[in-house]
Structure 1
């Protein structure tokens, strides 16, 4: 029987594969809606209380923070994978080592990262060629949100622990608290007090800390994990495991984020109106992306728990069923969103020039979102099995070999206003590449073990 099991935790090693995955994914899906609302409120407040330049400032200031955080967010995903494997084995001792080591790593990484971000953030914005009119606001937003790094990383690490345990519903409750706080603070600081971009940034940073603090209280009170508030040392062997799995995931995310800096630089060259249009399109498009991230996280935990339980028949079944379901759901959502996008976009801006680019972005990108959903689920399955290398290579190729070159080529040919077409091209390339996972030695081993288990029955 897996360790640390309670009513909020889902045992992915028994029952219907899709049923268990859906049960686990639904709270994450709701959480993703809250997270989207979290960032969407910023955009709504800026769009309605400020101007297009402010909207572009917020849109362009997020990439430097993402680059600095992504390595450690990847490590947080590595922690989640190791926790799910330990749960599948029923290894209580290893679970506690993972908890203690993750808290030590949080403080060892986040505080220096905050200082580095404050010093290098403005330089990174200049490197991205942020439009001159948007630069002051972007620097202000970045510096304030950098102060929330500890809360951001702390919540993500703790959410990873809970997901690894099979508990996705508690993260939803914690997100609801922080999202409500963010909305109220946005309206008060920016809407009522007129603090503009600074008010939105401060609301975000405060809400992130609230998320982290609430997650600490929940884990200490509602699970058997003895989560320390402050660092109390670490286990060297466990730290090596976290780094072995989490660092490639983090570096993969870092390369991905750096690639997005190059894309953002290209978008910035098209002007603030283009940037604002792509920004609001991204908020609406994120609705169609909800099932992708939800089922991908469910897939990773499913793979980790069943690997720990050594149930290869279930691994073989879930390894293709969950990606297929994710692709179909995303196809339906993407097509619906592409057809009905304009009324939603009008909530963000009334500027016709901005709306033109936003509608174009959605109708070019979203019909191909299902490709991303399917290959991301396959990638998450491989990650949950601890097989990081293949997924990392595919991610690098689709971004640096397809999306960036095709976007820059379109701009060079004089079609900069259609540079977003590189995104769906990379989705198709990613799906084709990840389908080869089913021809890999790793998948062949799963099939061989599954056949052996069937013969032994």
Structure 2
């Protein structure tokens, strides 16, 4: 099993291998994204638009939780791929053990800090007197499930990195399949409101955590989770964190940006404008997660072959990923431009104010979608090959260096329209700068590949 997985990473045709890895990753991330999206649909339809706005105020907190999961899970998966490419199986086993211990310690700390600063944090992220009770009820449950959420997300990334893409997909399907009926049970039947949605999420993540641990103790795993490797090795921890810093920084920046959006939407719109933003972000998540699935499919191939110094295969994978990401982005953009009303109605059917804010915001905020696919894939490449510095810079470029100043300046000049158009302007600027970085890297790969072929 082990030799077969590694052989296909190095020799199987890139196009068919990416497809084999993409569709399970796509189904998996879509299932994962359904946690928040299905919650919002049930809350918007059965609790009310104000409750939807309250849960949207919790979204930046959940982004911070996800940031710590990505810090460890993404960093661990990249290091696992690179070590497998070098045929260093003992080091790969140590990476798995260190990742598990690290995620438990970090998520426990996040839980404690979350409860300590919960109320001021929710106020900072846009909860008002009207929506605070909803936000507080939802977050109380979510914080108790941080450890389960982080374990499920991070360890499942390791399953994908070892070449078990279909199993990683099944993991997420099992979790989502538990979450959705529990949403209906707790919200509709037991009338638990937003707390029921959060409880459903925690239970489903508990099931995912058990599932991923069973895998790494089974014969199906390429790398085993062994007791002797459960510990913290300073060098391995630093290696994991150095790579994971890029997606971590991007997620933290996402949280700050979401807070700024919520504050500006309340100032220049209303509480219901925040609810509309929650719908828009749900739509954006579906599109971005499609491209993230593409990154998940390409990361083991790029990481393994970069570690094996097979740079022609690295270039071929990167080029294929950029093409597919652009097609996805263009298709999504066309659908949004043509059918904004049905998208909004899926979440809230009887709120004219949310419909007004949602249609305007959806078209403005996502009008730069055609370039986002390239931007996300190109930035992920530098993370996949362990170039942490460039990956961190490109991650922060859009969310911090460009977008935050725009969110401070443009609303003062253009009001609510300035809030909506900050995102697409940042996307275009970030894409141009990312392209410059990638052109340089492409030339370097071409030169190195040529040198190796002449040896």
TM-score normalized by the length of structure 1? 0.92
Equivalent residue, structure 2, for 1:401: 401
Q: Does 1:186 align with 2:183?
A: yes
CA distances 1:297-338 after superposition (whole Å, capped 9, x unpaired) = 223322211111110111223333321321122112221233
Q: Does 1:87 align with 2:80?
A: no
Q: Does 1:140 align with 2:126?
A: no
- Secondary structure (helix, strand or coil) at the match of 1:386 reads coil
**Shift in Å at residue 386 of structure 1?**
0.8
Q: Does 1:119 align with 2:116?
A: yes
- Secondary structure (helix, strand or coil) at the match of 1:289 reads helix
- How do 1:227-306 residues align onto structure 2 when only pairs under 5 Å count? 227=225, 232-269=230-267, 270-306=269-305
CA distance change for structure 1 residues 414 and 369 in 2, over 3 Å: closer, same or farther?
closer
CA distances 1:190-236 after superposition (whole Å, capped 9, x unpaired) = 11011101111111111111111111112322214332589932333
CA distance change for structure 1 residues 345 and 100 in 2, over 3 Å: closer, same or farther?
same
Q: Does 1:453 align with 2:452?
A: yes
- Secondary structure (helix, strand or coil) at the match of 1:11 reads helix
**Shift in Å at residue 10 of structure 1?**
8.5
Equivalent residue, structure 2, for 1:335: 334
Deviates more, 1:270-279 or 1:30-39: 30-39
Contact 1:74 1:250 in 2 (8 A): yes
**Shift in Å at residue 418 of structure 1?**
4.9
CA distance change for structure 1 residues 239 and 360 in 2, over 3 Å: closer, same or farther?
same
Contact 2:371 2:428 in 1 (8 A): yes
CA distances 1:268-305 after superposition (whole Å, capped 9, x unpaired) = 33322111112122223433334311112223322211
Equivalent residue, structure 2, for 1:219: 216
CA distance change for structure 1 residues 263 and 11 in 2, over 3 Å: closer, same or farther?
farther
**Shift in Å at residue 157 of structure 1?**
1.6
- Secondary structure (helix, strand or coil) at the match of 1:12 reads helix
CA distance change for structure 1 residues 266 and 400 in 2, over 3 Å: closer, same or farther?
same
When the two structures are aligned, how many residues end up with a matched partner? Answer: 452
Tell me, in whole angstroms, the C-alpha distance in 2 between the residues paired with 1:362 and 1:420.
8
Tell me, in whole angstroms, the C-alpha distance in 2 between the residues paired with 1:127 and 1:300.
36
**Shift in Å at residue 113 of structure 1?**
1.6
**Shift in Å at residue 263 of structure 1?**
2.5
Equivalent residue, structure 2, for 1:151: 148
Contact 2:58 2:125 in 1 (8 A): no
Deviates more, 1:99-108 or 1:223-232: 223-232
Equivalent residue, structure 1, for 2:427: 427
Tell me, in whole angstroms, the C-alpha distance in 1 between the residues paired with 2:245 and 2:35.
28
CA distances 1:97-135 after superposition (whole Å, capped 9, x unpaired) = 111111211222121221111111221111224222011
- Secondary structure (helix, strand or coil) at the match of 1:13 reads helix
CA distances 1:9-45 after superposition (whole Å, capped 9, x unpaired) = 8933223323322221111111222123222211111
Tell me, in whole angstroms, the C-alpha distance in 1 between the residues paired with 2:442 and 2:414.
44
Contact 2:34 2:176 in 1 (8 A): yes
Tell me, in whole angstroms, the C-alpha distance in 2 between the residues paired with 1:5 and 1:63.
42
Q: Does 1:73 align with 2:79?
A: no
- Secondary structure (helix, strand or coil) at the match of 2:386 reads coil
CA distance change for structure 1 residues 153 and 6 in 2, over 3 Å: closer, same or farther?
farther
Contact 2:81 2:303 in 1 (8 A): yes
Tell me, in whole angstroms, the C-alpha distance in 2 between the residues paired with 1:165 and 1:171.
10
Structure 1 unaligned runs (5+)? none
Tell me, in whole angstroms, the C-alpha distance in 2 between the residues paired with 1:51 and 1:36.
21
Tell me, in whole angstroms, the C-alpha distance in 1 between the residues paired with 2:110 and 2:447.
45
CA distance change for structure 1 residues 380 and 5 in 2, over 3 Å: closer, same or farther?
farther
Q: Does 1:311 align with 2:317?
A: no
- How do 1:33-52 residues align onto structure 2 when only pairs under 5 Å count? 33-52=30-49
**Shift in Å at residue 252 of structure 1?**
4.0
Deviates more, 1:23-32 or 1:443-452: 443-452
Tell me, in whole angstroms, the C-alpha distance in 2 between the residues paired with 1:405 and 1:329.
29
Structure 2 unaligned runs (5+)? none
Equivalent residue, structure 2, for 1:198: 195
**Shift in Å at residue 62 of structure 1?**
1.9
CA distance change for structure 1 residues 218 and 187 in 2, over 3 Å: closer, same or farther?
same
Tell me, in whole angstroms, the C-alpha distance in 2 between the residues paired with 1:48 and 1:230.
50
